[in-house]
Structure 1
């Protein structure tokens, strides 16, 4: 696995390491190296060398640094001299860049390949509101995402997820990278009636992916349309298991549900850090299991899977107290 070093003036690298872990999960072979105000070039160089020595694979190292020409960059560059054929440095470090680098390690084993792959994501992460402040950029026709609508066939479901927060950082980055959808569909009666939430969800879609919000009944109709969605890869997001059950009973052909987060509210118990259940939730999951659905309990793709049966047993025991 490619080792990644986050390097900066001050604690910026430590902060972005923590933020990346919140969104994408804890990472192996990643280190943050910071240049303190009282330190000099030799100090940060020693930290970089120590970080490299901690990696499983020291042949492939990617440096993500805050500022081109700054001391962290210069010292990383001095180490790069003897490894120009494999190592790489990318400056202008931001959170989209870091998350994209993490995700790229699933499919890429070269530091230089990852460095090249993360550039567009890093640039796309710089946006402004109101949108009219954005400079106009001509887009070549070859760069436009082709539409697959109109081909005979139904959706290919690459992920169905229960997540109270719906479309947020972990979904827009980690899960989108892992599953490669062409459409993200939020399935919720409540959100479909809320114009503000709909707009925010559409704006949160990652580049090249369309985001939609539909009521449960509309999703059932879309799932039965065998003429217009061939070639489309759908990532479905549900706020709760009850909506999933309605969708499945209506004919949406799901076989596995990723259970990511369920927020706590009065009357619910919380058997782990991210999942809270009321009696109706437990009963609904039992009905989904009876229908043959499997449960993939993970916040992000590289997390270990939780045991849903055990989680539900703990939740039931707490409710019975």
Structure 2
């Protein structure tokens, strides 16, 4: 696996490393290197060497650095000059760049390949609001990246239960992992809330269209085999009850990613991110009767949770309360 050194002036690198872990999960072979006010070039170079020495593969190293021409960049450049052309540097450090590098190294074996893949994402992450301030050529390019329709049905690349719906972990980690062309929030409640609909549409990552539809409409879309060929759909649900209604109506979901269910009065919380009441437990059991499998992960890098065991613990806690 390609090792990654995130380097910056001050604590920026440490903070963005933490942010990346919140969205994509904790990562191996990644280190933050900081240049503090009391330190000089030799200090940051020594830190970089120490970070690289901890990597499993020291032949392939990617530096993600804040500024071109700054001290961290200069010291990384001097280290690269000592190598045989296998290390790479990308500057202009931002969170999208970090997340994309984590995803890219799952399928890319070299620092060069990862650097090439993340460059476009890092640039696309720089946006402006209000949109009319954005250069016309950039806006046009973004608008043209989504796939056009063709005869056929949706390909469902992910169906996820997440109380927060479209947020950072979905817009970055899951989108990079599944490569959808459309993100569809399926909710009667949200479909009637114009403000939430607008916020969700604005939160969509570059090149992906976001929609909010009521459950009945999603059932109709799922049965349309004429207009969505080539479209890769990522479906987001707030709760398992909405998923069950969609499945009962004919939306062909084989696996549900269970990512987040927030706590509220009357619910028990058998793990850190999932809370259940009796209705939730009964609903998951009905979904299982429909042949639906459960993928319990907050982000793609997490280990799979055992839904049967989680439901057993939740049921036991609810029984104790009675």
Pair in the same fold by TM > 0.5: yes
Query: Could you say which residue in structure 2 is the equivalent of 1:95?
Result: 95
* Residues 146, 209 of structure 2: 8 Å contact kept: no
CA distance in 1, matches of 2:45, 2:141: 45
Q: How does 1:1-321 map to 2 (within 5 A)?
A: 1-83=1-83, 85-137=85-137, 144-145=144-145, 147-149=147-149, 151-321=150-320
Change (3 A) 1:182 1:139: same
TM-score by length of 2: 0.96
| SS class of match (2:184) | strand
CA drift at 1:83:
2.4
Residue 261 to residue 140, structure 1, CA distance change in 2 (3 Å): closer
How far, CA to CA, are the matches of 1:316 and 1:102 in structure 2? 37
Compared CA separation, residues 304 and 46, structure 1 to 2 (3 A)? same
Structure 1 stretch displaced more, 103-112 or 183-192: 103-112
TM-score by length of structure 1 reads 0.96
Label 1:112 to 1:129 Cα distance change in 2 as closer, same or farther (>3 A): same
* Length, aligned pairs only: 320
Contact 2:146 2:208 in 1 (8 A): no
Q: Distance in 1 between matches of 2:84 and 2:143?
A: 30
- Which secondary structure does the structure 2 equivalent of 1:118 belong to? helix
State how far apart, in whole Å, the 2-side matches of 1:227 and 1:140 are: 27
Cα separation, 2, equivalents of 1:217 and 1:71:
57
- Segments of 5+ residues of structure 2 without an aligned counterpart are none
Gaps of 5+ in 1: none
Alpha carbons of structure 1 residues 271 and 231: separation in structure 2 relative to 1, 3 Å: same
Query: For residues 122 and 140 of structure 1, what CA distance do their matches in structure 2 show?
Result: 18
Distance in 2, Cα, partners of 1:140 & 1:274: 39
The CA deviation string for residues 90-142 of structure 1, in whole angstroms up to 9 with x for no partner, is 11101111111111112211111111211121112122222222233257889
- Alignment RMSD (CA, Å): 1.6
CA contact (8 A) 2:142 2:207 kept: no
Partners of 1:142 and 1:277 in 2: how far apart?
A: 40
Q: Post-superposition shift, 1:303?
A: 0.8
